[in-house]
């Protein structure tokens, strides 16, 4: 699915995906897979930071900081709003609609030169306005060669705290017993005998995997993880 996302974005069909799953299930590993496989893409990154959750625009600033040299190319009202949001100029609290449009313009401008992949890990810790703005942008990406992927640890504190609800998502669940044993054995094949015996014993006792994928959808296996694909409700991002 991530491979398809990259090929769609390369072809100028923007794609948005929210990866959801419990701690340690492999969301960051999938994000790294995506970045690694997005050959020829420019990469913009941000990571939600728990201690910055109360700092408005902190997450957005991380994502956009490398692009700020392009601010002059934005329409003036958008540029002014973003400059105030990022503390580059004085002014009253910026209009969030204009900030959203500014980020959209910035991403589109970068993607005009080279396809762009934006990855946001630990998005559950984004400050509220950054998450809202990214969701706004995600709903408006159209024919730009942009892939926007956000990884969110679940469970989120509550439905009202989930600013990314409604975007296309992929729920990552645990490995089945057989798959987990196969992965373990493929690693242990290269190890000494005592380790291999230990692995077999551990495999024999392995508990059933966690099942976060309880919603309706199509079961898919990808690169050693199980995932349930759920269509988003956002027409702009399908
Ligand atoms: N498909 C995989 N193949 C091999 N190792 C994996 C795979 N997925 C995850 N791992 C390993 O499992 C560990 C946890 O994965 P990861 O950090 O990606 O989880 P996460 O879902 O991002 O967790 P968190 O919510 O805490 O950020 C890491 O050490 C990672 O290298
Ligand atoms: Mg992670």
- Cα(60)–Cα(52) distance, rounded to whole angstroms? 11
Residue 18, pLDDT score = 96
Q: Which residues line ligand 1 (CB under 6 A)?
A: 21, 23-29, 122, 153, 223-225
Distance 26 CA to ligand 1 centre (A): 3
Residue 69, pLDDT score = 94
Mutate to test the pocket of ligand 1, among 24, 175, 188 (most ligand atoms within 8 A of CB): 24
Mutate to test the pocket of ligand 1, among 22, 26, 170, 210 (most ligand atoms within 8 A of CB): 26
- Cα(228)–Cα(142) distance, rounded to whole angstroms? 24
Residue 187, pLDDT score = 80
Q: Which ligand is nearest to the CA of 183?
A: 1
Could you tell me the strand order of the sheet in which 169-173 lies? 42-47, 116-121, 146-153, 15-21, 169-173, 225-230, 218-222
Q: Can you list the domains of the chain with their CATH numbers?
A: 2-174+210-233 (3.40.50), 176-208 (no CATH)
Cα diameter, the chain: 68
Residue 177, pLDDT score = 85
- Cα(46)–Cα(126) distance, rounded to whole angstroms? 9
Length of the chain: 238
- Measured in degrees and rounded to the nearest 5, phi and psi for residue 225 equal -120, 155
Q: For residues 127 and 52, is the Cβ–Cβ distance under 8 A? A: yes
- Cα(58)–Cα(105) distance, rounded to whole angstroms? 19
Residue 222, pLDDT score = 39
Residue 229, pLDDT score = 53
Averaged pLDDT, groups of 10, the chain, 238 residues long = 90 93 94 92 95 94 96 96 96 95 96 95 95 96 92 77 88 85 81 65 55 37 47 41
Distance 54 CA to ligand 1 centre (A): 27
Residue 221, pLDDT score = 38
Residue 160, pLDDT score = 60
Distance 54 CA to ligand 2 centre (A): 20
Other Cβ atoms within 10 Å of 215 Cβ, number = 10
Distance 23 CA to ligand 2 centre (A): 7
Could you identify the atom of ligand 1 that is nearest to the CA of residue 25?
21
Distance 98 CA to ligand 1 centre (A): 36
**The model's pTM:** 0.78
């Amino acid at each position: 699915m991530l491979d398809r996302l990259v090929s769609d974005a390369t072809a100028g069909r923007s794609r948005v995906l929210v990866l959801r799953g419990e701690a340690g299930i492999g969301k960051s590993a999938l994000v790294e897979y995506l970045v690694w496989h997005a050959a020829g893409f420019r990469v913009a990154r941000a990571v939600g930071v728990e201690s910055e959750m109360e700092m408005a625009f902190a997450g957005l600033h991380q994502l956009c900081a490398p692009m700020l040299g392009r601010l002059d190319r934005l329409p003036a009202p958008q540029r002014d709003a973003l400059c105030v949001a990022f503390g580059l100029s004085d002014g009253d609290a910026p209009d969030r609609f204009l900030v959203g449009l500014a980020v959209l313009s910035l991403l589109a401008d970068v993607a005009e030169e080279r396809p762009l992949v934006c990855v946001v890990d630990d998005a559950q810790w984004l400050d509220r306005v950054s998450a809202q703005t990214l969701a706004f942008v995600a709903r408006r990406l159209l024919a730009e060669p942009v892939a926007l992927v956000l990884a969110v640890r679940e469970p989120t504190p509550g439905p009202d705290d989930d600013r990314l609800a409604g975007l296309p998502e992929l729920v990552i669940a645990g490995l089945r017993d057989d798959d987990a044993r196969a992965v373990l054995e493929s690693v242990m094949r290269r190890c000494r005998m005592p380790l291999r015996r230990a692995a077999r014993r551990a495999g024999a006792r392995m508990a059933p995997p966690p099942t976060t994928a309880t919603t309706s959808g199509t079961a898919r296996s990808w690169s050693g993880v199980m995932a349930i694909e759920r269509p988003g409700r956002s027409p702009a991002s399908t």
